[in-house]
């Protein structure tokens, strides 16, 4: 029998790292929710709460910053994924359609606001986390710029806006707004913030070029 053949249900090292990072995401969210910042958490406290041995932790993560990079990769993927609800809108999408599309990334951010908040705070002094944050921004900017350019070509967005720079300004404003405003808002305030950002984006890109209502 060939001992080198892959075993059924064998999990690769990258897959195991991803599984562990997802496991630790809920652990970290609970710990930070109790009042400590991510910077204040020790590896010992994280692995104890997660029921993982020190040797297992260091087999997959260099340190606490590396764990955050892994956790951020998952939640960033979720955020980028739901962002397509905006830039995949049809050319005749209304303002109400835009509001529904923008709700998805807001809901995703709120669900993972502890991890996203840790990314923002840790990026100030950890280059690995900063690169992960920049990766999120770059992906969203590129997709939004493509959407703006396509809408301009179709005559459904303001043609005077520079797609790339317009996307950069918009995404960075949204990134800071999510962190500063949405993360700590209650349900009522979130609805009002969603109304405000929908109105702002509609006026910047689509007003006069798309139907206000269906």
Distance CA 54, CA 148 (A): 48
* CA pair distance 171, 146, nearest whole angstrom: 13
Distances from the Cα of 214 to the Cαs of 41, 91, 151, 204, 210, in angstroms?
50, 12, 18, 19, 10
For the chain, domain boundaries: 71-206
Mind listing the pLDDT tens digit for each residue in 47-67? Answer: 999 999 999 999 999 999 999
Q: Say what the pLDDT of residue 44 is.
A: 95
Closest CA to 154 of 80, 86, 89, 199: 89
Average pLDDT over residues 67-87: 87
HSE of 17 in the Cβ direction (CA atoms, 13 Å)? 17
Q: Which CATH architecture has domain 71-206?
A: Orthogonal Bundle (1.10)
Report pLDDT digits (tens) over 166-200: 999 999 999 999 999 998 899 999 999 999 999 99
| pLDDT interval class at 103 (50, 70, 90) | very high
pLDDT in tens, 137-169: 898 999 999 999 999 999 999 999 999 999 999
CA torsion 153→157→162→164, rounded to 10°? -80
């Amino acid at each position: 029998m060939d001992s080198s053949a892959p075993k059924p249900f064998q999990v690769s090292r990258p897959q195991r790292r991803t599984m562990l990072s997802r496991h630790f995401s809920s652990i970290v969210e609970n710990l930070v929710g109790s009042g400590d910042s991510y910077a204040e958490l020790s590896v010992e406290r994280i692995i104890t709460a997660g029921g993982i041995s020190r040797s297992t932790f260091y087999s997959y993560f260099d340190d606490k910053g590396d764990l955050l990079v892994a956790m951020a990769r998952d939640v960033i993927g979720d955020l980028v994924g739901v962002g397509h609800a905006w830039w995949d809108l049809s050319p005749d999408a209304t303002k109400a359609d835009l509001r529904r599309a923008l709700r998805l990334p807001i809901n995703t951010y709120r669900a993972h606001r502890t991890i996203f908040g840790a990314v923002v705070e840790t990026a100030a002094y950890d280059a690995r986390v900063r690169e992960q944050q920049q990766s999120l921004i770059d992906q969203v900017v590129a997709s939004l710029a493509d959407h703006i350019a396509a809408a301009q070509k179709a005559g459904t967005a303001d043609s005077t806006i520079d797609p790339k720079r317009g996307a950069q300004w918009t995404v960075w404003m949204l990134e800071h707004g999510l962190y500063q405003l949405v993360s700590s808002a209650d349900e009522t305030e979130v609805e009002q913030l969603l109304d405000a950002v929908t109105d702002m984006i509609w006026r910047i890109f689509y007003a006069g070029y798309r139907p206000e209502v269906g």
